[in-house]
């Protein structure tokens, strides 16, 4: 029996159960290999994720955000029984690829271009680094 080390067990790290779950999800997502993708830094406050989705149309793709998890899914119609392939090297399967986003990172938009799906992410510059909490009496 193996015991897993708990990373966020300090009493000073309150409410980090969700972060532990995000790390677990990120590790699982890193093990996936289809479709291949790039993550590109675009300046100080922008990132682009590019997925190789040749053969998928915009109607075959879905991009969703739940909490801080960005999910990109592709669903493809099965090949018709009339098609006879001599060689089938282009993957015809669907996929689900997930990315965990840092706090403050927002999806600006997405575009499909030459078989690549580009998802643009930005971090707004006007985030306040320090926030004062009002104290109520009573």
Name the domain count of the chain: 1
How does pLDDT run across 66-110, given as a tens digit for each residue? 988 999 999 987 777 788 888 887 777 899 999 989 888 999 999
pLDDT score at 19: 66
Residue 25 lies in a domain: no
pLDDT score at 34: 83
Residue 8 lies in a domain: no
pLDDT score at 10: 65
Residue 134 lies in a domain: no
- Structural domain harbouring 68: 35-78+91-125
Q: Is the pLDDT of residue 126 over 80?
A: no
Residue 51 lies in a domain: yes
Model confidence pTM above 0.95: no
Residue 56 lies in a domain: yes
Q: Is the pLDDT of residue 56 over 60?
A: yes
What pLDDT band is residue 25 in, cutting at 50, 70 and 90? low
Point out which residues pair with 66 in neighbouring strands. 69
Residue 28 lies in a domain: no
Between 115 and 33, name the one with better pLDDT: 115
Residue 42 lies in a domain: yes
Residue 98 lies in a domain: yes
- For residue 115, the domain's CATH number is 2.60.40.790
């Amino acid at each position: 029996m193996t015991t897993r080390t708990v990373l966020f067990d300090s009493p000073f790290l309150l409410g980090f159960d969700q972060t532990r779950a995000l790390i677990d999800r990120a590790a699982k997502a890193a093990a996936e290999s289809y479709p291949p993708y790039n993550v590109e830094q675009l300046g100080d406050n922008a990132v682009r994720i590019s997925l190789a989705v040749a053969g998928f149309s915009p109607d075959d793709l879905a991009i969703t955000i739940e909490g801080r998890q960005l999910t990109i899914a592709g669903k493809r119609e099965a090949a018709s029984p009339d098609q006879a392939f001599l060689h089938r090297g282009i993957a015809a399967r669907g996929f689900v690829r997930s990315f965990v986003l840092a706090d403050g990172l927002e999806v600006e938009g997405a575009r499909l271009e030459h078989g690549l799906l580009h998802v643009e992410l930005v971090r707004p510059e006007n985030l306040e680094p320090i926030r004062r909490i009002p104290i109520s009496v009573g």
